[in-house]
Amino acid sequence: MLTHAPGWFNRALEVPYEDRTVEVGGVAIHYLSWNEADDVDGAEEKPGLIFVHGNGAHAHWWTFIAPFFLREYRVVALDLSGAGDSGRRKRYSPELFADEVIGVAADAGFGDDTIVVGHSFGGFVTLKTGLLHNDRLTGIVLVDSAVRPPDFKWERDPRRSPIKPKRVYETFEEALGRFRLMPPQDCSNGFILDYIGRHSLKQTEGGWTWKFDDGLFRKMAFDTNMHEELARLKCRVGVIYGEDSYLFSQEVADYMFRVLDESVPFVGIPEAQHHLFLDQPLAFVSALRTLLAEWRHSRPNRLHV
């Protein structure tokens, strides 16, 4: 329990989960799995909900979010290869990441009514999962994952890795003190940053360093046709974004809305930046729960061609 954190946060962290591992493409993929303690007998009848983290992050970014969804879902959050406590690859690809999501779903016993929620880079993995494994999914939710028009004018080369080479720090405290969000933004919820920062570090020769593979972008082909893949999605799609996110501008939102259709909900979180469930966690929970509740009680209107 964190004494400086609000009650809802500590209560979420008290909900038990299991650490599990499944091999996908020759690499061990670690994930966290929750089950509602007072409904174990009926748990297998619930649909699956998978949370996918962003670039440089890990499964524990969702530890304080996942328990809010246990009444209706079985929930897991995975470490993609090259992140958290999962293994590393010599070469990464969007297809392999999608296979990891489905591999975790299968290992957790999820059926074809699974929903995948991905933030930022994890949203692009989620999009690829929805495209390649539509038969295993009810839908996907993209969380501040901006799919930009093909003629979008970039301020910087999008193929350039946002991850800087890792350093080794002598002490855990020194390393934790260097924890920063990427892309950078303010976040007044220091208790959340402290929690995810503590789960971002590992001990190594000479001290402490970050868990992520800082060579991931050098080992992966850059996917440039996401706008085409967005248009080809057949499963249900939802979009949640931060209204103050500089990565998800109104131009981007308007473009994605045109590529998808009017049946796709676009939910903006007020006062939220790119890492929206860190700076506005309860608003994010409310938005996602509302979106998923609507899906449970309606039929999809999108044309599946």
- DSSP 3-state of 60: helix
- Average confidence (pLDDT) over 82-86: 98
Within-domain flag for 109: yes
Within-domain flag for 145: yes
Query: For residues 46 and 73, is the Cβ–Cβ distance under 8 A?
Result: yes
Structural domain tally of the chain? 1
Pairing assessment for the beta strands 27-34 and 74-78 based on DSSP bridges: antiparallel
Within-domain flag for 105: yes
pTM of full prediction above 0.85: yes
Judge whether residue 227 has pLDDT over 90: no
Find out whether the peptide bond into 270 is cis, omega within 30 degrees of 0. Answer: no
285: domain CATH number?
3.40.50.1820
- If one compares 303 and 214, the residue with the highest pLDDT of the two is 214
Calpha distance 116→125 (Å, rounded): 10
Within-domain flag for 201: no
- Average confidence (pLDDT) over 274-293: 97
Within-domain flag for 160: no
Residue 94 lies in domain: 7-154+227-296
For the ranges 38-52, 151-165, 182-196, 258-272, which has the lowest average pLDDT?
151-165
- Average confidence (pLDDT) over 254-280: 93
Angle between helices 94-107 and 121-132 (to 10 degrees): 70
Within-domain flag for 303: no
Judge whether residue 292 has pLDDT over 70: yes
Within-domain flag for 231: yes
| Best CA proximity match to 215, nearest among 19, 81, 48 | 81
Confidence of residue 262 (pLDDT cuts 50, 70, 90): confident
- Average confidence (pLDDT) over 224-244: 91
Within-domain flag for 147: yes
